[in-house]
């Protein structure tokens, strides 16, 4: 666990299958794959595309993945510019 230099929130780093380190929010979410254009990364490092499941849609059958931190960071602009990796 580390801390975002942009906003000070806790973040995790996941190494994607492409070999990049991606900052993510530590809380995983259920993802509806193929029904959106947001990107998520699983704890295995695979990037999947879709959207966050609504609470009533959550199901064990859905993939669980992490939201890239730049989606939620209020200082994403700074963060991207100075981000490492």
Provide the minimum distance between the beta carbon of 52 and Zn ion in the complex, in angstroms, as a whole number: 18
Tell me how crowded residue 14 is: count the other CB atoms within 10 A of its CB: 20
Q: Min. distance of Cβ 27 from Zn ion in angstroms? A: 14
Of the two residues 4 and 31, which places its CB atom closer to Zn ion in the complex? 4
| Complex with Zn ion: residue 6 or 50, whichever CB lies closer | 6
By the criterion CB under 5 A, which residues form the site for Zn ion? Answer: 4, 6-7, 73
Q: How far is the CB of 67 from Zn ion (least distance, A)?
A: 12
> DSSP characters for the chain?
-EE-TTT--EEEEEE-TTS-EEEE-SS-EEEEEEEEEEEEE-TTS-EEEEEEPPGGG--TTS-EEB-BHHHH-TTHHHHHHH---
Q: Quick one: 7 or 62, whose CB is closer to Zn ion? A: 7
């Amino acid at each position: 666990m580390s801390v975002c230099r942009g906003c000070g929130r806790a973040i995790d780093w996941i190494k994607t299958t492409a070999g990049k380190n991606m900052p993510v929010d530590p809380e995983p979410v259920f993802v509806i794959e193929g029904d959106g254009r947001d990107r998520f990364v699983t704890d295995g490092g695979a990037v999947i595309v879709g959207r966050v499941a609504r609470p009533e849609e959550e199901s064990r059958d859905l993939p669980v993945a992490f939201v890239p931190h730049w989606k939620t960071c209020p200082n994403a602009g700074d963060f991207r510019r100075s981000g490492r990796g």
